[in-house]
Structure 1
Amino acid sequence: MCILQLSLLLFHWIPHIGLAVFIWQFTHRKIQLDANHIYGSKYSSGSDESKSELCADRKRTSTNYLDGTLNNLSCSTTIHNGCHLNMQRSASVDPTKMGVGKAIAVLTSGGDAQGMNAAVRATVRVGIYTGAKVYFVHEGYQGLVDGGDNIRQATWESVSMMLQLGGTVIGSARCQDFRSKEGRAKAACNLVKLGITNLCVIGGDGSLTGANEFRNEWSELLQILLKAGKITAEEAKRSSHLNIVGMVGSIDNDFCGTDMTIGTDSALHRIMEVVDAITTTAQSHQRAFILEVMGRHCGYLALITALACGADWVFIPEMPPDEGWEDHLCRRLTYQRSIGNRLNVIIVAEGALDRHGKPITCDIIKNLVTKKLGFDTRATILGHVQRGGTPSAFDRILGSRMGVEAVMALLEATPDTPACVVSLSGNMAVRLPLMECVQVTKEVTKAMAEGRFEEAVKLRGKSFENNWNTYKLLAHVTAPDVKSNINIAIMNVGAPCAGMNAAVRSAVRIGILQGHSMLAVHDGFDGLAHGTIEPMTWGYVGGWTGKGGSNLGTKRSLPARMIEEISLNIAKFNIHALVIIGGFEAFVGGLELWNYREKYEELCIPLVVIPATVSNNIPGSDFSIGADTALNTITTTCDRIKQSAAGTKRRVFIIETMGGYCGYLATMAGLAAGADAAYIYEEQFGIHDLETNVEHLLEKMKTTVKRGLILRNEKCNANYTTDFIFNLYSEEGKGVFDCRKNVLGHMQQGGTPTPFDRNFGTKMGAKAVLWLTEKLKECYRHGRIFANTPDSACVLGMKKRAMIFQPLSDLKEDTDSEHRIPKTQWWLKLRPILKILAKYKISLDTSETATMEHVIKKRGTV
């Protein structure tokens, strides 16, 4: 005890000696972990671009934790290939000292959006982690102009319990004063006096454009202040340059250059909650409902809502309806009633126009439907309910990742670096030149004003265009009169999950539109072996999009033990192609069918596996249908548990999540809920790590935040079970905190699908059947279907920004079959962010060269 006290005393008074003692102590503890084993590579195969990224990933190095408290981990920022902009990180720079002597201000401006608080929290904590001072700017640009108490220094504890709050806790306001040079000069004076030269702005395109203008005239503003005697020459010299970085916070998702803006996913959650509620009353009374959603001049919210609820019609500004749309709409609604639908849903974006530029409103549509068809019709304008409520798990994670990257971008910026915006591309955080993004965003508005609607859709991005094409297929294309004589069977395999039914519905309807006959196989491979197969019509899958679980029924049985019966029934029912929707059993089952092709000719048919499992453990895809719904279920539960812990004080909760051996749910829920630790199989841990986490919580209880949240993946360790960890924490925390445990169980597999899972399932189902149609044409030989090549049995997966088909046989090498997980997983690179935001002093690897991706290329805008 005396030696320990002496060490602490030396550490306090003589930093160099204290550091030596510190390193000596933990060197002898021998806590080591190969970071390459944890991370591996992000891509197992693919294009030259992905291979070059793989090489870049392997350049990452791992350095010891500064306080020796956790495993050897590293974190790198992934930036797309593009133009080098002198943003190289020095490997010798200590990330916890990058911000020493610097000050960062963070503000939220414009309309509020759920997830802004997550971005603010991450900015503050990572800024403090790097040694910088971080300031809140309350009430947006108005607070920047007014100064005083509106600009306050932030602390680690001041951003606690912010993750689950909607809106922005530091306030937002429209500011006329900042539009004038006099107002911007006041803002500059307030920043200079506090030594702030780094500004992080969270808002829409207007807010970010204002920030860029502020930066461009910074030198001029300093001269004005210097001449007026409001600042000294020394202050002007110390603050000679202003760095700007933006994060896009807007529910409209109208900013070009990012796949999703902060707040969009949460707004979709609010909309779908209302749509689901309205659907029940509409069915009861056989009504037509017209819903107006927000979005200003962008139709993203309306389009995704229409896909996610199976709406009969959607009006968006980017693509006004053709002339005579009134008659077409009435025919569409009448047809839907004629096939047995008891309700009609029409979605209207608030900025919807016709081809002549006249607004299309709910009242116009309501009067049309009432007078022409005599339907009982109601109109609902959702309004600001879409901005409110708890942020979704996606928005919390997005805001946190953007906040981390924003701080790194500010601290790495030089006077020659253009102002950048941090955005999302696929599953990667990227930096884009701010004004290029603003320029493209304005070009969309210009294209719509000039009637170039096809171009406007393309300018919105590939994702928007794909969503629009999928909607058109499902809502405006009629089935051909001539049938193809092709039978496609659809089955669910493995554990049920939310979004499966959306995929089935989409696959069935696209198949019918292609002229095929669609067959339902009940109860997975058991049903295929026993012949529980029946035809599906258009109306058979009506209303399935919003239903959780599996309406077809699903089992975990694999085909190998009943392959004879399966091959006989494939011949009996004349099945020409197979869609298998499910988890790891679907992947293995598809492989087994492919392996048996040599023995059973009936199995020589094209097949596609669509990943659908809460575990998100299917090789060949970054995401699985159902994982987002499960993640939101866990996050919501953690919010309630944290609320309980905060009220009780000095309480730590141990939460067990599903996922098998895959730690995706535990890791992402840890990020979304603000957990103190998340134990997973992919990142091996031992008793010393558990001890370190306990010590961390003991220190935490000395602060104003007297609660703890620990997540544990169900199969992270055979010996360190939930009970073991609970008992350890309970014993070691005696007298300081008490402990409780919760095993969430199968509630993670249930619930209404989230907008993401509905939309993802819809697109995957459509893509799979369209691919099968083309593959069937390729495999048609001598009057019959014969598919025996590896590329005729594929997994349809989401890789970065694209949906790609990969042969099942090629994915075997990237599969850890024993533990039912891919050997490489992209989300592992987010683990260090979880630890940094929980106040662990880990090392953030800064050895890579960061580059900025351009939005505008040589041949024009893309």
Structure 2
Amino acid sequence: MYLGIIEQGGTVIGSARCKDFRERAGRVKAAKNLVLNGITNLVCIGGDGSLTGANCFRNEWKDLLDELVSSGELSKEQREKHSSLSIVGLVGSIDNDFCGTDMTIGTDTALHRIIEAVDAISTTAASHQRCFVLEVMGRHCGYLALVAALACEADFVFVPEYPHKEGWKDKLCKKLQSERDVGQRLNIILVCEGAIDMQGNSITATQVQELVQTRLSYDTRITVLGHVQRGGRPSAFDRILATRMGAESVLALIEAKSDSPALIISLDGNQVVRKQLMQCVQKTLNVQKCMKDQKFEDCVSARGRSFEGNLNIYKILSRLEPPKTASTENLCSSKYSFAVVAVGAPACGANAAVRSFVRMSLVKGYKVMGVLDSLSGLSKGNMKILNWMDVHGWAAKGGSMLGTKRTLPKDVGIESIANQIRDNKIGGILFVGGFEAYQAVVQLVEAQHLYSSLKIPLLVIPSTISNNVPGTDFSLGCDSSLNEIVSICDRIKQSALGSKRRVFVVETMGGYCGYLATLAGIAGGADAAYINEEDFTCSDLIKDCDHMSTKMENSQIKRGLILVNEKANTNFNTDFIFHLFSESGRRSFSTRSNVLGHMQQGGSPSPFDRNMGTKLGTKAAQKMITLCEKNLAEDGTVVATDPDCAVLVGVIRRKTEYTPVMELAKRTDFSKRLPLDQWWLKLRPLLRILAKHDDVYTAEAEDDDQ
């Protein structure tokens, strides 16, 4: 039953809201069933109701067994043998409404469905100059609506935790009108199904539609997404999250003692954490109480730092009304400008970062120069002023709207770059790109003693599908690329299964970094993933080939999937591995090879990359402004020589960190373009264990200190 299910949505074991379990008689029956089947460890996957019921079940366990013994349904020996019940909870809910975890299983997939719908609707809305009001799920939690609003550049969003103040109707209409005045052809409004006003009155999509039609006479349509948000194949993020949580729940149950409290496995940024179940349930109930009492600020705080951070970013961007004209001529008060340049290979999410950086800077009074054609364009002065509407719609676009190349400052001439910075009065530069962008800033910092114009704030937002930049857990683009790879692997596995006894060897990008191969291997149910960071020999390959032959003979799944990082090994490359498996396994299976190539860089950005790009762009603009104001000379120029003025803006665990690039240089292998420490390597044993190889997986979860 459990074979080949990772790509399936829903749950293959079934799920239900059981009314019987709410009554004691139902729980007595459940206790008897567990004892008769010899079960004393239980993993409960569900929302706050399911987890609260599971904790109640555990607290009543001994009394339930006593009742069963008294009625003669169980013996005393059975009671003694099953005297304690250990429970671990995994939160599965698309609403992301459970306090204690940043993300619940299913939320990212639901966001994919919402963004896919918005992207599809946007084309018809722009064509007909329409306003669309979309209703999304979330009776008591506005997470889906809020994060989707960030990802799709929604003009307005309604969530229950933070109702708009009185006068919101005027504010909404004024905002829509001002956007039409500067040439925007469509409007998107997201309404959470549980949206309310400050008095607790319900706000519906129909009410919003009538308001826009009455006041503005816009052609306004409603789309209710409904249960479409629950369906479809799981996203790569959800597959990996559920896999990590599932493995951790087993280890938690093994370590549990009779007096151990019930736990949940939660996600704190990028770290799996064990928390006490009832503490999290109580926090969730507290949110509901705050909403009932209309204490909305307390409600937002109770939701947790992740929700509060998303809301704060949206509030910043949503109040950034465009200037009265599309020109920035009279908008910017500063004597100097910012510049933004893309460096390296294209990656999804980079355009979202540029968009939020530009708009945040504009409202704060700073002109932004968009550098065309990367560093070669900067060396030649090929740049243009980016206005408000110039970056409209960029969050949903893949690739690089500015144009990007792999050239470095030393390739195009550092002196020419320094001269352009001086001549154009640039007070700070944002580099959006991968390892080349990081390396470019290192080179410019090293040349600051030669050119005074380089002594300005230099910021890097990591943007590469390889996820090989130090100073961050994730780079923009790696999530979108993972989803592309996993989607392709799903289709490849379907082909292999139909052909029977077929193994596919698939090459992924990443340079020397095995992030894509490893994470796609976990999310795609691969049998092996070969990477440069983990040495392997010809004997290892033959052993894996023999393992594949055994699988074909004894398993119900008659197909195989092998992932190979493009620079996993100079000699044992994709072609070698393909031929080895073809020859060694020819009596058991046939072998095919696929090189995915640049399709991994394309496509529409995932919700994760859009949101991270939007947040990092906003954070970068705020940091740039702070550094410029702090290092402003009397003559109005910026002179920034402190190491903290040349930083990489990254996400480490759940925090945005600003790490000096020269500090990161000490933690970098420049020959292989890799950070010396990579967090995801600890997941490697999990990949092999799930493919039924012998390996040891240690607990990654930390006990929560709170």
Same fold, judged at TM 0.5 (above): yes
Indicate conservation of the 8 Å contact 1:479/1:512, yes or no: no
Q: Answer yes or no: is 1:793 the counterpart of 2:646.
A: yes
Cα deviation, residue 854, structure 1: 4.8
Q: Answer yes or no: is 1:514 the counterpart of 2:364.
A: yes
Alignment of 1:92-107 (within 5 A): none
Percent identical residues:
55
Indicate conservation of the 8 Å contact 2:332/2:366, yes or no: no
Alignment of 1:563-574 (within 5 A): 563-574=414-425
Aligned to 1:138: none
Of 548, 563, 570, 1:711 maps to: 563
Of 348, 353, 357, 2:191 maps to: 348
Aligned to 1:692: 543
Q: Answer yes or no: is 1:591 the counterpart of 2:434.
A: no
Given the superposition, is the C-alpha separation of residues 400 and 851 from structure 1 closer, same or farther in structure 2, using an over 3 Å criterion?
closer
Of 599, 603, 611, 1:759 maps to: 611
The number of residue pairs the alignment matches comes to: 696
Instruction: Give the AA of the match of 1:852.
Output: D
For residues 219-242 of structure 1, the C-alpha deviation after alignment (integer angstroms, 9 at most, x for no partner) is 000011001110111111111011
Q: What TM-score do the two structures reach when normalised by structure 1?
A: 0.80
Instruction: Give the AA of the match of 2:556.
Output: T
For residues 22-70 of structure 1, the C-alpha deviation after alignment (integer angstroms, 9 at most, x for no partner) is xxxxxxxxxxxxxxxxxxxxxxxxxxxxxxxxxxxxxxxxxxxxxxxxx
Indicate conservation of the 8 Å contact 2:133/2:188, yes or no: yes
- Point out the more displaced range, 215-224 or 701-710: 701-710
Of 670, 679, 683, 1:817 maps to: 670
Taking the aligned partners of 1:350 and 1:168, their CA distance within structure 2 comes to: 25
Taking the aligned partners of 1:741 and 1:172, their CA distance within structure 2 comes to: 39
Taking the aligned partners of 1:197 and 1:513, their CA distance within structure 2 comes to: 59
Q: Tell me the SS of whatever aligns to 2:426.
A: coil
Q: What TM-score do the two structures reach when normalised by structure 2?
A: 0.97
Of 540, 546, 550, 2:400 maps to: 550
Alignment of 1:345-494 (within 5 A): 345-478=188-321, 483-494=333-344
Cα deviation, residue 482, structure 1: 6.5
Indicate conservation of the 8 Å contact 2:175/2:321, yes or no: no
Cα deviation, residue 712, structure 1: 0.2
Indicate conservation of the 8 Å contact 1:433/1:854, yes or no: no
Cα deviation, residue 782, structure 1: 2.1
Q: Answer yes or no: is 1:609 the counterpart of 2:609.
A: no
Given the superposition, is the C-alpha separation of residues 851 and 636 from structure 1 closer, same or farther in structure 2, using an over 3 Å criterion?
closer
Taking the aligned partners of 1:382 and 1:818, their CA distance within structure 2 comes to: 49
Alignment of 1:156-555 (within 5 A): 158-478=1-321, 483-555=333-405
Q: Which has the higher contact order (CA 8 A, sep 6+)?
A: 1
Aligned to 1:722: 574
Q: Tell me the SS of whatever aligns to 2:396.
A: coil
Taking the aligned partners of 2:626 and 2:186, their CA distance within structure 1 comes to: 35
Taking the aligned partners of 2:41 and 2:624, their CA distance within structure 1 comes to: 53
Taking the aligned partners of 1:454 and 1:189, their CA distance within structure 2 comes to: 45
Aligned to 2:696: 843
Taking the aligned partners of 1:735 and 1:638, their CA distance within structure 2 comes to: 24
Cα deviation, residue 159, structure 1: 0.8
Taking the aligned partners of 1:248 and 1:314, their CA distance within structure 2 comes to: 26
Given the superposition, is the C-alpha separation of residues 844 and 371 from structure 1 closer, same or farther in structure 2, using an over 3 Å criterion?
closer
Aligned to 2:595: 743
For residues 710-760 of structure 1, the C-alpha deviation after alignment (integer angstroms, 9 at most, x for no partner) is 000000100001111000000000111010000000000100000000000
Indicate conservation of the 8 Å contact 1:519/1:534, yes or no: yes
Taking the aligned partners of 1:412 and 1:478, their CA distance within structure 2 comes to: 54
Cα deviation, residue 479, structure 1: 6.9
For residues 778-809 of structure 1, the C-alpha deviation after alignment (integer angstroms, 9 at most, x for no partner) is 11122221011111100011111101000010
Alignment of 1:654-693 (within 5 A): 654-693=505-544
Indicate conservation of the 8 Å contact 2:136/2:192, yes or no: yes
Indicate conservation of the 8 Å contact 1:485/1:517, yes or no: no
Cα deviation, residue 851, structure 1: 6.2
Q: Tell me the SS of whatever aligns to 1:691.
A: helix
Taking the aligned partners of 1:259 and 1:700, their CA distance within structure 2 comes to: 37
Q: Tell me the SS of whatever aligns to 1:578.
A: strand
Taking the aligned partners of 1:451 and 1:205, their CA distance within structure 2 comes to: 21
Aligned to 2:328: none
Taking the aligned partners of 1:482 and 1:396, their CA distance within structure 2 comes to: 46
Cα deviation, residue 604, structure 1: 0.6
Taking the aligned partners of 2:254 and 2:543, their CA distance within structure 1 comes to: 30
Taking the aligned partners of 1:342 and 1:442, their CA distance within structure 2 comes to: 42
Indicate conservation of the 8 Å contact 2:418/2:451, yes or no: yes
Indicate conservation of the 8 Å contact 1:262/1:399, yes or no: yes
Taking the aligned partners of 1:746 and 1:348, their CA distance within structure 2 comes to: 37
Cα deviation, residue 484, structure 1: 2.6
Indicate conservation of the 8 Å contact 2:332/2:362, yes or no: no
Instruction: Give the AA of the match of 1:231.
Output: L
For residues 190-237 of structure 1, the C-alpha deviation after alignment (integer angstroms, 9 at most, x for no partner) is 111111101111000100000000000000000110011101111111
Of 700, 703, 706, 1:852 maps to: 703
Q: Tell me the SS of whatever aligns to 1:785.
A: coil
Taking the aligned partners of 1:429 and 1:274, their CA distance within structure 2 comes to: 31
Taking the aligned partners of 2:581 and 2:332, their CA distance within structure 1 comes to: 68
Indicate conservation of the 8 Å contact 2:179/2:322, yes or no: no
Indicate conservation of the 8 Å contact 1:583/1:612, yes or no: yes
Aligned to 2:327: none
Taking the aligned partners of 1:268 and 1:595, their CA distance within structure 2 comes to: 43
Instruction: Give the AA of the match of 2:620.
Output: A
Taking the aligned partners of 1:427 and 1:571, their CA distance within structure 2 comes to: 41
Cα deviation, residue 353, structure 1: 0.2
Cα deviation, residue 572, structure 1: 1.3
Indicate conservation of the 8 Å contact 2:178/2:322, yes or no: no
Indicate conservation of the 8 Å contact 1:479/1:514, yes or no: no
Taking the aligned partners of 1:446 and 1:542, their CA distance within structure 2 comes to: 39
Taking the aligned partners of 2:387 and 2:430, their CA distance within structure 1 comes to: 16
Q: Runs of 5+ in structure 2 lacking a partner?
A: 324-330
Indicate conservation of the 8 Å contact 1:479/1:515, yes or no: no
Cα deviation, residue 852, structure 1: 3.0
Given the superposition, is the C-alpha separation of residues 327 and 517 from structure 1 closer, same or farther in structure 2, using an over 3 Å criterion?
same
Aligned to 2:504: 653
Q: Tell me the SS of whatever aligns to 2:703.
A: coil
Cα deviation, residue 478, structure 1: 4.1
Q: Tell me the SS of whatever aligns to 1:220.
A: helix
Instruction: Give the AA of the match of 1:683.
Output: E
Cα deviation, residue 486, structure 1: 3.2
Taking the aligned partners of 2:68 and 2:421, their CA distance within structure 1 comes to: 81
Instruction: Give the AA of the match of 1:794.
Output: V
Indicate conservation of the 8 Å contact 1:197/1:241, yes or no: yes
Aligned to 1:42: none
Q: Answer yes or no: is 1:769 the counterpart of 2:621.
A: yes
Q: Tell me the SS of whatever aligns to 1:430.
A: strand
Q: Tell me the SS of whatever aligns to 1:605.
A: coil
Q: Runs of 5+ in structure 1 lacking a partner?
A: 1-157, 856-862
Indicate conservation of the 8 Å contact 1:426/1:800, yes or no: yes
Taking the aligned partners of 1:331 and 1:486, their CA distance within structure 2 comes to: 31
Q: Tell me the SS of whatever aligns to 2:656.
A: strand
For residues 424-477 of structure 1, the C-alpha deviation after alignment (integer angstroms, 9 at most, x for no partner) is 112221110000001011111111222221121111111211111111111113
